[in-house]
Protein backbone atom coordinates (compact mmCIF):
# COMPACT_ATOMS: atom_id res chain seq x y z
CA UNK A 1 0.00 0.00 0.00
CA UNK A 2 1.29 3.46 -0.91
CA UNK A 3 2.41 5.63 2.01
CA UNK A 4 0.16 8.60 2.81
CA UNK A 5 1.16 11.82 4.59
CA UNK A 6 -1.65 11.34 7.15
CA UNK A 7 -3.10 8.31 8.93
CA UNK A 8 -6.81 7.79 8.19
CA UNK A 9 -9.12 4.80 7.79
CA UNK A 10 -9.59 4.43 4.04
CA UNK A 11 -10.08 2.08 1.12
CA UNK A 12 -7.07 1.17 -1.01
CA UNK A 13 -4.88 3.87 -2.53
CA UNK A 14 -4.93 4.47 -6.29
CA UNK A 15 -1.71 6.06 -7.54
CA UNK A 16 -1.59 8.22 -10.67
CA UNK A 17 0.70 10.32 -12.83
CA UNK A 18 -0.90 13.52 -14.11
CA UNK A 19 0.04 14.82 -17.59
CA UNK A 20 -1.34 17.10 -20.27
CA UNK A 21 -1.08 17.16 -24.06
CA UNK A 22 -1.88 20.57 -25.58
CA UNK A 23 -3.88 21.26 -22.43
CA UNK A 24 -5.89 18.01 -22.40
CA UNK A 25 -5.34 16.09 -19.16
CA UNK A 26 -4.48 12.43 -18.80
CA UNK A 27 -4.75 10.89 -15.32
CA UNK A 28 -2.67 7.72 -15.68
CA UNK A 29 -3.40 4.96 -13.15
CA UNK A 30 -0.28 2.89 -12.49
CA UNK A 31 -1.13 1.21 -9.16
CA UNK A 32 -4.17 0.34 -7.07
CA UNK A 33 -6.70 -0.59 -9.74
CA UNK A 34 -8.27 -4.05 -9.24
CA UNK A 35 -6.87 -6.89 -11.31
CA UNK A 36 -8.47 -7.43 -14.74
CA UNK A 37 -8.17 -10.61 -16.79
CA UNK A 38 -8.54 -11.84 -20.37
CA UNK A 39 -7.91 -10.03 -23.64
CA UNK A 40 -7.70 -6.26 -23.54
CA UNK A 41 -11.26 -5.89 -24.83
CA UNK A 42 -12.38 -8.42 -22.21
CA UNK A 43 -10.58 -6.36 -19.56
CA UNK A 44 -12.38 -3.28 -20.86
CA UNK A 45 -15.71 -5.08 -20.52
CA UNK A 46 -14.81 -6.28 -17.00
CA UNK A 47 -13.85 -2.76 -15.93
CA UNK A 48 -17.22 -1.48 -17.21
CA UNK A 49 -19.19 -4.25 -15.51
CA UNK A 50 -17.42 -4.53 -12.14
CA UNK A 51 -15.30 -1.47 -11.50
CA UNK A 52 -16.97 1.47 -13.20
CA UNK A 53 -17.25 3.21 -9.83
CA UNK A 54 -13.46 3.58 -9.91
CA UNK A 55 -13.63 5.35 -13.27
CA UNK A 56 -16.29 7.65 -11.84
CA UNK A 57 -14.30 8.17 -8.65
CA UNK A 58 -11.19 9.28 -10.55
CA UNK A 59 -12.74 11.14 -13.48
CA UNK A 60 -15.71 12.83 -11.83
CA UNK A 61 -15.91 15.36 -9.01
CA UNK A 62 -14.63 15.85 -6.36
CA UNK A 63 -11.36 14.30 -7.57
CA UNK A 64 -11.83 15.11 -11.24
CA UNK A 65 -14.17 17.18 -13.39
CA UNK A 66 -16.58 16.88 -16.32
CA UNK A 67 -13.81 16.96 -18.93
CA UNK A 68 -11.27 14.75 -17.13
CA UNK A 69 -9.62 12.01 -19.16
CA UNK A 70 -7.88 8.93 -17.80
CA UNK A 71 -5.75 5.93 -18.70
CA UNK A 72 -5.27 2.64 -16.83
CA UNK A 73 -2.02 0.76 -17.46
CA UNK A 74 -2.61 -2.92 -18.23
CA UNK A 75 0.64 -4.91 -17.90
CA UNK A 76 -0.80 -8.14 -19.30
CA UNK A 77 -2.79 -8.51 -22.52
CA UNK A 78 -2.91 -11.04 -25.33
CA UNK A 79 -0.34 -8.95 -27.24
CA UNK A 80 2.10 -8.61 -24.33
CA UNK A 81 1.87 -12.39 -23.89
CA UNK A 82 3.08 -12.93 -27.46
CA UNK A 83 5.73 -10.21 -27.31
CA UNK A 84 3.96 -7.95 -29.82
CA UNK A 85 3.31 -5.24 -27.23
CA UNK A 86 5.24 -3.97 -24.21
CA UNK A 87 2.13 -2.93 -22.26
CA UNK A 88 -1.59 -2.34 -22.68
CA UNK A 89 -3.87 0.53 -21.70
CA UNK A 90 -7.54 1.29 -21.15
CA UNK A 91 -8.83 4.82 -21.75
CA UNK A 92 -11.53 6.43 -19.58
CA UNK A 93 -13.88 9.34 -20.30
CA UNK A 94 -16.72 11.04 -18.45
CA UNK A 95 -19.20 8.36 -19.52
CA UNK A 96 -17.21 5.22 -20.26
CA UNK A 97 -14.20 3.62 -21.90
CA UNK A 98 -12.95 4.82 -25.26
CA UNK A 99 -11.16 2.64 -27.80
CA UNK A 100 -8.36 5.02 -28.78
CA UNK A 101 -6.78 8.22 -27.53
CA UNK A 102 -3.95 9.99 -29.29
CA UNK A 103 -3.24 12.65 -26.70
CA UNK A 104 -2.98 10.00 -23.97
CA UNK A 105 -0.76 7.83 -26.20
CA UNK A 106 1.66 10.75 -26.58
CA UNK A 107 1.71 11.24 -22.80
CA UNK A 108 2.10 7.51 -22.16
CA UNK A 109 5.08 7.37 -24.49
CA UNK A 110 7.00 9.77 -22.28
CA UNK A 111 5.89 8.16 -19.02
CA UNK A 112 6.83 4.64 -20.09
CA UNK A 113 10.31 5.70 -21.16
CA UNK A 114 10.79 7.63 -17.91
CA UNK A 115 9.49 4.82 -15.69
CA UNK A 116 11.37 1.99 -14.03
CA UNK A 117 10.31 -1.63 -13.59
CA UNK A 118 8.15 -0.81 -10.56
CA UNK A 119 5.66 0.92 -12.86
CA UNK A 120 6.53 -0.71 -16.18
CA UNK A 121 7.75 -4.30 -15.89
CA UNK A 122 9.01 -4.45 -19.48
CA UNK A 123 10.96 -1.18 -19.35
CA UNK A 124 14.26 -3.03 -19.90
CA UNK A 125 12.93 -4.43 -23.19
CA UNK A 126 12.53 -1.01 -24.81
CA UNK A 127 15.00 -0.41 -27.64
CA UNK A 128 16.92 2.86 -27.69
CA UNK A 129 18.38 4.10 -30.98
CA UNK A 130 21.44 6.27 -30.20
CA UNK A 131 21.58 7.63 -33.75
CA UNK A 132 18.08 9.17 -33.72
CA UNK A 133 18.04 9.37 -29.90
CA UNK A 134 14.59 7.80 -29.77
CA UNK A 135 13.02 4.86 -27.97
CA UNK A 136 10.33 2.61 -29.45
CA UNK A 137 7.28 1.62 -27.37
CA UNK A 138 4.69 -0.85 -28.59
CA UNK A 139 1.42 0.09 -26.89
CA UNK A 140 -1.66 -2.13 -26.98
CA UNK A 141 -4.79 0.05 -27.11
CA UNK A 142 -8.34 -1.35 -27.35
CA UNK A 143 -8.37 -0.48 -31.06
CA UNK A 144 -5.08 -2.28 -31.75
CA UNK A 145 -1.30 -1.97 -31.64
CA UNK A 146 0.34 1.46 -31.69
CA UNK A 147 4.01 2.05 -32.50
CA UNK A 148 5.15 5.01 -30.38
CA UNK A 149 8.45 6.82 -30.99
CA UNK A 150 9.70 8.76 -27.98
CA UNK A 151 12.59 11.26 -28.24
CA UNK A 152 15.10 10.29 -25.58
CA UNK A 153 18.10 11.94 -23.94
CA UNK A 154 21.58 10.57 -24.56
CA UNK A 155 21.49 8.44 -21.41
CA UNK A 156 18.73 6.37 -23.04
CA UNK A 157 16.67 6.44 -19.84
CA UNK A 158 14.75 9.71 -19.94
CA UNK A 159 12.43 11.24 -22.51
CA UNK A 160 13.35 14.52 -24.15
CA UNK A 161 10.49 17.01 -23.67
CA UNK A 162 11.99 19.44 -26.18
CA UNK A 163 11.09 17.12 -29.08
CA UNK A 164 7.61 15.77 -29.93
CA UNK A 165 6.47 12.18 -29.45
CA UNK A 166 4.96 10.45 -32.47
CA UNK A 167 2.84 7.36 -32.98
CA UNK A 168 1.64 5.39 -35.99
CA UNK A 169 -2.10 4.88 -35.99
CA UNK A 170 -4.06 1.72 -36.47
CA UNK A 171 -5.41 1.33 -40.05
CA UNK A 172 -7.59 4.39 -40.63
CA UNK A 173 -10.23 5.03 -43.25
CA UNK A 174 -13.16 7.18 -44.31
CA UNK A 175 -16.60 5.61 -44.09
CA UNK A 176 -18.71 8.33 -45.68
CA UNK A 177 -18.11 11.55 -47.66
CA UNK A 178 -20.70 14.33 -47.95
CA UNK A 179 -23.36 12.23 -46.25
CA UNK A 180 -26.83 13.75 -46.04
CA UNK A 181 -28.12 13.54 -42.46
CA UNK A 182 -31.86 14.14 -41.91
CA UNK A 183 -32.62 16.26 -38.84
CA UNK A 184 -36.12 15.52 -37.57
CA UNK A 185 -38.15 17.95 -35.44
CA UNK A 186 -36.96 16.42 -32.15
CA UNK A 187 -33.31 16.97 -33.13
CA UNK A 188 -33.55 20.53 -34.45
CA UNK A 189 -31.32 23.28 -33.03
CA UNK A 190 -31.97 27.03 -33.50
CA UNK A 191 -29.10 27.76 -35.90
CA UNK A 192 -30.56 25.38 -38.53
CA UNK A 193 -33.20 28.02 -39.23
CA UNK A 194 -35.71 25.62 -40.73
CA UNK A 195 -33.30 23.32 -42.56
CA UNK A 196 -34.12 19.63 -42.22
CA UNK A 197 -30.74 18.09 -43.05
CA UNK A 198 -27.00 18.70 -42.89
CA UNK A 199 -24.02 17.25 -44.76
CA UNK A 200 -21.05 15.71 -42.96
CA UNK A 201 -18.15 13.28 -43.41
CA UNK A 202 -17.39 10.16 -41.39
CA UNK A 203 -14.02 8.58 -40.73
CA UNK A 204 -12.19 6.14 -38.44
CA UNK A 205 -8.83 6.62 -36.72
CA UNK A 206 -9.15 4.15 -33.84
CA UNK A 207 -12.61 5.54 -33.09
CA UNK A 208 -15.41 6.74 -35.37
CA UNK A 209 -15.84 10.46 -36.02
CA UNK A 210 -18.47 12.65 -37.59
CA UNK A 211 -16.73 15.67 -39.15
CA UNK A 212 -18.71 18.78 -40.06
CA UNK A 213 -18.03 22.43 -40.84
CA UNK A 214 -19.16 25.30 -38.66
CA UNK A 215 -21.23 26.75 -41.51
CA UNK A 216 -23.02 23.46 -42.13
CA UNK A 217 -24.18 23.52 -38.51
CA UNK A 218 -25.60 26.98 -39.14
CA UNK A 219 -22.96 29.10 -37.40
CA UNK A 220 -21.09 32.02 -38.95
CA UNK A 221 -17.58 33.33 -38.30
CA UNK A 222 -14.53 31.39 -37.20
CA UNK A 223 -14.39 28.51 -34.76
CA UNK A 224 -12.69 30.57 -32.06
CA UNK A 225 -15.63 33.02 -32.12
CA UNK A 226 -18.51 30.62 -31.43
CA UNK A 227 -20.71 30.30 -28.36
CA UNK A 228 -19.61 26.93 -26.95
CA UNK A 229 -22.94 26.40 -25.21
CA UNK A 230 -24.72 26.66 -28.56
CA UNK A 231 -22.29 24.37 -30.41
CA UNK A 232 -22.66 21.92 -27.54
CA UNK A 233 -26.43 21.77 -28.15
CA UNK A 234 -25.98 21.48 -31.93
CA UNK A 235 -23.42 18.65 -31.80
CA UNK A 236 -25.36 16.79 -29.11
CA UNK A 237 -28.55 16.87 -31.19
CA UNK A 238 -26.65 15.99 -34.37
CA UNK A 239 -25.03 12.97 -32.74
CA UNK A 240 -28.41 11.83 -31.39
CA UNK A 241 -29.97 12.15 -34.85
CA UNK A 242 -27.18 10.07 -36.39
CA UNK A 243 -27.23 7.32 -33.76
CA UNK A 244 -31.04 7.03 -33.95
CA UNK A 245 -31.08 6.70 -37.76
CA UNK A 246 -30.84 3.03 -38.87
CA UNK A 247 -29.77 4.11 -42.36
CA UNK A 248 -26.58 5.67 -40.95
CA UNK A 249 -25.40 2.79 -38.75
CA UNK A 250 -22.97 1.47 -41.37
CA UNK A 251 -20.94 4.68 -41.03
CA UNK A 252 -19.61 3.58 -37.66
CA UNK A 253 -19.42 -0.20 -37.97
CA UNK A 254 -15.95 -1.66 -37.54
CA UNK A 255 -15.16 -4.42 -40.07
CA UNK A 256 -13.73 -6.77 -37.42
CA UNK A 257 -14.52 -5.79 -33.82
CA UNK A 258 -18.10 -5.12 -32.73
CA UNK A 259 -16.83 -3.45 -29.54
CA UNK A 260 -15.36 -0.66 -31.70
CA UNK A 261 -18.61 -0.01 -33.57
CA UNK A 262 -19.97 3.19 -32.08
CA UNK A 263 -19.87 6.90 -32.92
CA UNK A 264 -17.40 8.48 -30.49
CA UNK A 265 -18.26 12.10 -31.15
CA UNK A 266 -18.73 15.07 -33.48
CA UNK A 267 -15.85 17.30 -34.55
CA UNK A 268 -16.45 20.78 -35.96
CA UNK A 269 -13.69 21.59 -38.45
CA UNK A 270 -12.53 25.06 -39.51
CA UNK A 271 -10.07 24.74 -42.38
CA UNK A 272 -9.40 28.48 -42.43
CA UNK A 273 -8.20 28.79 -38.84
CA UNK A 274 -4.78 27.84 -37.48
CA UNK A 275 -1.07 28.46 -37.88
CA UNK A 276 1.08 25.73 -39.49
CA UNK A 277 4.10 24.57 -37.55
CA UNK A 278 7.53 25.12 -39.09
CA UNK A 279 7.65 21.58 -40.52
CA UNK A 280 4.14 21.41 -41.97
CA UNK A 281 2.47 22.89 -45.02
CA UNK A 282 -1.02 23.84 -43.85
CA UNK A 283 -3.25 23.98 -40.78
CA UNK A 284 -6.83 23.61 -39.64
CA UNK A 285 -8.61 23.75 -36.29
CA UNK A 286 -11.16 21.41 -34.77
CA UNK A 287 -13.56 21.50 -31.83
CA UNK A 288 -14.38 18.00 -30.65
CA UNK A 289 -17.37 17.03 -28.52
CA UNK A 290 -16.99 13.39 -27.55
CA UNK A 291 -18.22 10.73 -25.18
CA UNK A 292 -20.72 12.48 -22.87
CA UNK A 293 -20.19 15.87 -24.60
CA UNK A 294 -16.85 16.60 -22.99
CA UNK A 295 -14.60 18.88 -25.04
CA UNK A 296 -11.12 17.77 -26.06
CA UNK A 297 -8.56 20.45 -25.23
CA UNK A 298 -6.04 18.74 -27.51
CA UNK A 299 -6.24 18.42 -31.30
CA UNK A 300 -7.46 14.81 -30.78
CA UNK A 301 -4.83 12.34 -32.00
CA UNK A 302 -7.28 9.69 -33.19
CA UNK A 303 -9.22 12.49 -34.86
CA UNK A 304 -6.05 13.56 -36.68
CA UNK A 305 -5.67 10.01 -38.02
CA UNK A 306 -9.32 10.04 -39.09
CA UNK A 307 -9.00 13.46 -40.77
CA UNK A 308 -5.82 12.50 -42.62
CA UNK A 309 -7.52 9.31 -43.83
CA UNK A 310 -10.51 11.38 -44.94
CA UNK A 311 -8.29 13.86 -46.81
CA UNK A 312 -6.55 10.94 -48.53
CA UNK A 313 -9.91 9.43 -49.51
CA UNK A 314 -10.92 12.73 -51.08
CA UNK A 315 -7.55 13.19 -52.81
CA UNK A 316 -5.15 10.22 -53.24
CA UNK A 317 -2.39 12.75 -53.91
CA UNK A 318 -2.75 14.12 -50.38
CA UNK A 319 0.73 13.59 -48.91
CA UNK A 320 1.18 16.93 -47.18
CA UNK A 321 2.13 17.35 -43.53
CA UNK A 322 -0.69 19.29 -41.89
CA UNK A 323 -0.91 20.90 -38.47
CA UNK A 324 -4.12 20.13 -36.61
CA UNK A 325 -5.15 22.53 -33.87
CA UNK A 326 -7.66 22.59 -31.05
CA UNK A 327 -8.94 25.89 -29.70
CA UNK A 328 -6.35 25.58 -26.93
CA UNK A 329 -3.36 24.85 -29.16
CA UNK A 330 -4.48 27.58 -31.56
CA UNK A 331 -4.63 30.08 -28.70
CA UNK A 332 -1.21 29.07 -27.31
CA UNK A 333 0.60 29.18 -30.66
CA UNK A 334 3.46 31.67 -30.87
CA UNK A 335 6.38 32.10 -33.26
CA UNK A 336 8.51 29.83 -31.07
CA UNK A 337 5.84 27.36 -29.96
CA UNK A 338 3.14 25.43 -31.78
CA UNK A 339 1.00 23.18 -29.62
CA UNK A 340 -0.81 21.51 -32.51
CA UNK A 341 -0.46 17.93 -33.71
CA UNK A 342 1.10 17.10 -37.07
CA UNK A 343 -0.49 14.34 -39.14
CA UNK A 344 0.73 12.70 -42.33
CA UNK A 345 0.12 9.51 -44.31
CA UNK A 346 3.00 7.06 -43.89
CA UNK A 347 1.62 3.97 -45.63
CA UNK A 348 -1.32 2.77 -47.68
CA UNK A 349 -2.73 -0.56 -46.46
CA UNK A 350 -4.20 -3.04 -48.92
CA UNK A 351 -7.70 -3.82 -47.67
CA UNK A 352 -11.14 -4.66 -48.97
CA UNK A 353 -12.82 -1.37 -48.16
CA UNK A 354 -14.76 1.23 -50.20
CA UNK A 355 -12.24 3.95 -49.27
CA UNK A 356 -8.43 3.85 -48.99
CA UNK A 357 -7.00 2.50 -45.73
CA UNK A 358 -3.87 4.22 -44.46
CA UNK A 359 -1.48 4.35 -41.54
CA UNK A 360 -1.02 7.86 -40.18
CA UNK A 361 1.82 9.34 -38.17
CA UNK A 362 0.60 11.72 -35.47
CA UNK A 363 3.09 13.93 -33.67
CA UNK A 364 2.64 16.08 -30.54
CA UNK A 365 4.05 16.98 -27.13
CA UNK A 366 2.98 16.07 -23.59
CA UNK A 367 4.14 17.30 -20.19
CA UNK A 368 3.97 16.25 -16.55
CA UNK A 369 1.70 18.23 -14.25
CA UNK A 370 1.81 16.19 -11.04
CA UNK A 371 1.72 12.92 -9.14
CA UNK A 372 -1.31 11.93 -7.07
CA UNK A 373 -2.80 9.37 -4.73
CA UNK A 374 -6.56 8.93 -4.30
CA UNK A 375 -8.40 7.35 -1.38
CA UNK A 376 -11.94 6.92 -0.11
CA UNK A 377 -12.25 7.68 3.59
CA UNK A 378 -14.45 5.15 5.39
CA UNK A 379 -16.93 7.75 6.66
CA UNK A 380 -17.23 9.73 3.38
CA UNK A 381 -20.96 9.99 2.46
CA UNK A 382 -20.03 10.10 -1.24
CA UNK A 383 -18.74 6.57 -0.89
CA UNK A 384 -16.56 4.93 -3.50
CA UNK A 385 -17.89 7.04 -6.37
CA UNK A 386 -18.06 10.53 -7.83
CA UNK A 387 -20.61 12.88 -9.36
CA UNK A 388 -21.15 15.22 -12.31
CA UNK A 389 -22.47 18.50 -10.95
CA UNK A 390 -24.40 19.38 -14.12
CA UNK A 391 -26.42 16.17 -13.81
CA UNK A 392 -27.50 16.67 -10.19
CA UNK A 393 -30.43 18.83 -11.32
CA UNK A 394 -32.70 17.51 -14.07
CA UNK A 395 -35.52 19.54 -15.68
CA UNK A 396 -39.05 18.53 -14.75
CA UNK A 397 -40.91 16.51 -17.38
CA UNK A 398 -44.65 16.27 -17.81
Residue 293: per-residue pLDDT: 96
Report the alpha-carbon distance of residue 49 to residue 113 in Å, rounded: 32
Residue 4: per-residue pLDDT: 74
Q: Write the class of the CATH domain 172-362.
A: alpha beta
Q: Calculate the dihedral angle through the C-alpha atoms of 121, 125, 126, 130, rounding to the nearest 10 degrees.
A: 140
Residue-wise pLDDT for 119-169, tens only, equals: 999 999 999 999 999 999 999 999 999 999 999 999 999 999 999 999 999
pLDDT over 60 (residue 2)? no
Residue 1: per-residue pLDDT: 45
Residues contacting residue 357 through CB under 8 Å, at least 6 positions apart: 171, 172, 173, 309, 348, 349, 350, 351
Element at 345 (helix H, strand E): strand 341-349
pLDDT over 50 (residue 268)? yes
DSSP 60-82: SBTTS-TT--EEEEES--HHHHT
Residue 5: per-residue pLDDT: 78
Contact, 323 vs 283, CB < 8 A?
yes
Q: What is the 8-class DSSP label of residue 11?
A: S
pLDDT over 50 (residue 11)? yes
Beta bridge partners of 180: 199
Residue 8: per-residue pLDDT: 74
Q: Compare 314 and 6 and report the one with higher pLDDT.
A: 314
**Pairing of β 322-325 and β 144-151:** unpaired
Identical fold for domains 14-163+368-373 and 172-362, yes or no, is yes
pLDDT over 50 (residue 354)? yes
Residues 268-297 as b or e (16 or more Cβ within 10 Å = b): bbbeebbbbbeebeebbbbbbbbbbbbbbb
Please compute the mean of the pLDDT values over residues 172-189 and round it to a whole number.
Answer: 98
CATH of 14-163+368-373, one of 3.40.640.10, 3.10.310.10, 1.10.443.10, 3.40.50.300: 3.10.310.10
Residues catalogued as catalytic = 101
Q: C-alpha distances in angstroms, 287 versus 251, 310, 370? A: 21, 17, 26
pLDDT over 50 (residue 398)? no
Q: Note the pTM of the prediction, 2 decimals.
A: 0.96
Q: Where are the domains of the chain?
A: 14-163+368-373, 172-362
Q: C-alpha distances in angstroms, 96 versus 45, 99, 101, 177? A: 10, 10, 13, 28
Residue-wise pLDDT for 45-95, tens only, equals: 999 999 999 999 999 999 999 999 999 999 999 999 999 999 999 999 999
Report the alpha-carbon distance of residue 340 to residue 164 in Å, rounded: 11
Q: Provide the CB-side half-sphere exposure for 206 (13 A, CA).
A: 31
Amino acid sequence: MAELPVSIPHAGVISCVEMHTSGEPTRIVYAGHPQLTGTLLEQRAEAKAKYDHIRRRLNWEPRGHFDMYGAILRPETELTATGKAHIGVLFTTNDGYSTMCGHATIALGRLLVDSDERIFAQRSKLEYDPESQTTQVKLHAPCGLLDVTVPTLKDGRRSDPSRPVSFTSVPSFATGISVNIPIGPEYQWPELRGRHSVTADFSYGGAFFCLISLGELGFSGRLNQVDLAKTNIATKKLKAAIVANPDLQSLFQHPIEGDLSFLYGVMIVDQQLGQPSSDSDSAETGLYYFSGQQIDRSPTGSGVAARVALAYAKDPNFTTKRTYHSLVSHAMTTKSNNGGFIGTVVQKVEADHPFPVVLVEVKGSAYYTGFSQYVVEDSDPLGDDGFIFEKLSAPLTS
